[in-house]
Amino acid sequence: MELSKYLQDCSRAIPEKQQLLIGVYAQALEIIPRQLCDDAGFDATNILNKLRAQHAQGGMWYGVDINNEGIADNFEAFVWESAMVRISALTTASEAACLILSIDETVENPRSTVGAPPAAGRVRGCGCTH
């Protein structure tokens, strides 16, 4: 949540389209505590609102408290995670997203298009009509 808050704050200082990209990335990071809440059967909206409020007040170590259905200071509760693991996970996820977004043409099986009439109004490779 703290990284999400930091990126949201930074995105407000960027005037161009990168602001939207960073803002969406920050929102994507909030999926982690939301998924923890969903898996535990908690009201994710309520807990995420509490987390956002706590992080806005400077509680940078607060996270989801699975034991008490709320939020807690994870540093004091000894819930720690290796920075290298987090960096590796974020880097891998970002690279995978960039790879998916960089694909601009669908690969087609040449045998499936032999003898087929040309599709009118279709953009080559994307499979959708425009």
User: Domain residues of the chain, as ranges?
Assistant: 2-84
For 12-113, where are the alpha helices, taking DSSP H only? 18-29, 31-40, 44-56, 83-102
pLDDT tens digits, one per residue of 36-53: 999 999 999 999 999 999
> In this structure, which CATH number among 3.40.640.10, 1.10.390.10, 2.60.40.10, 1.10.560.10 belongs to the domain 2-84?
1.10.560.10
Token pair in block for residue 7: 């990126």
Whether 12 and 26 have beta carbons less than 8 Å apart is answered as: no
* Residue 94, token pair as written in the block: 């970002």
The pLDDT of residue 125 is: 46
How far apart, in whole angstroms, are the C-alpha atoms of residue 99 and residue 67?
Answer: 38
What pLDDT is stored for residue 21 in this prediction? 87
What are the beta bridge partners of residue 129?
Answer: 122
From first to last of its 130 residues, what are the pLDDT tens digits of the chain? 999 999 999 999 988 888 998 999 999 999 999 999 999 999 999 999 999 999 999 999 999 999 999 999 999 999 888 889 989 999 999 999 888 877 755 566 666 656 655 555 444 444 444 4
What's residue 83's pLDDT?
85
CA distance 68 to 86: 25
| pTM for the model | 0.69
